[in-house]
Structure 1
């Protein structure tokens, strides 16, 4: 049996990102989990990420290893880790892994402590030739920078026997596409409670960054300016005021809409609160803040507008902070 790490430069010991593709990220020599360097993802109300395509084959399973920490006393932001499978034409085949680390969960690197993540993927489907490893720091106002180090995607292979003679070299294939990924995000910066309105997009009041204007902020959403495959992520903080009230299956349900049309309803973000027998959740008034995140892959056409829309609401529910982000994968 052999173990192979498919990630290249996972410890950033070259002092550069290559072959990672970074956004709002730098190489730092100030902190590291091992070695001399690590990646530093900018905190605050911006989207920061690194991603890399690696070799993958049908039926392979992988173990994703990542070491994470925050810098300084500020709250750590949410972080999303994902492994997605693609074919040779960069066609999306499915996710092997999505792991979301909530806000306030990362230790302070100044204390020389780290969160070491170990996650196993599902098997790569037929047709897989590559996988996208994405480490994504999500926007949160007033949050700390995040340090990333020692990223590995381990494939375990059984040794079958000696390799046979090498056959003749085949023809060189066409050069694959090279893209500068389009990306952007929109947020709701105010923390005032806003009541949910059925079928009305969640209010978003600012957006950025949009290099080359490939993703632009429009009214309560984002508009892509070029066709491609995109990862769409969102999170809305729901404020539930409970006063001798039972919340049941008519709870808050959020959807992604493209051009005012619902897409992929299996990716809903749902909030249900109930107790058997109809007993109240609380016997007096409470106010709860509950994050509702979701993530999905979409094929978007130039001009498409993406928004967060509630498809089910219940009395006494409001929302406060919210963000929507789009990252082009191919």
Structure 2
């Protein structure tokens, strides 16, 4: 609150009081009182008026200053009406009561929305898990006899499972809470499981794989890392280049802040593992590359592939952000796409 704003607000009341003073002075002058006799009265009245407004201004300014200091000290700003007890007049008390009731109503609505969201997430997770059971049963039935029709069924079941995982992680990503468990993870085992999940997709598209023999372990959430890798592998196969044998190359570099190179078996504390997944697919155009992690963005490739939802890489970025994992991409249209995942390496003491 500044002085200019205050005096602008008080201009009308002060003007009214000055006009009343002038009217009273004229009346007294008409009764025969001289201007010399009226001067002390006028000066006393004007001095009192100015002093009263100055004191009121400083009181108001200190009042709002205390409010600002308290608001700044609170981590959860919406709790301000619950802790502020500084109302010093009936007008301030009235505004305070109104603000407190509004905040109480807002908190009740927020709690109800949180409860509905938790119920929705629980139902969503239950639905996904219930759907996975018949998918597993159908996969076992279709896998008993290896023929073209059954392989096609297994491929579609893999796609269904992939979409269910997307739905599950989308529901979790919208929640303020997460069940991530950071622990030691065998990176190579996670990659093998990812390839096993996409087995039919890789076989039927005749994808050539190149994976290093040794990969250092990392600290991560195993399920989340599996989801991220699964999405990257799925995209690498989906957006392949027509007329060329699909190839996916997984490599790893150790970064220690000063230099990088192929892993030599050393696990120095503070090192980072740069896991690189590269394909020889259709690539991403330069104008689309900066936006591939945006929610719902499909780009030129997505418009050509109508099954694209623009949610896969968005979820990967959001999950990696919550886990403190670096995720980036590089690409050249018509040549390659490479996704880089930066994870902390296990340290051996």
TM range (shorter): under 0.3
Q: TM-score, normalised by structure 1?
A: 0.22
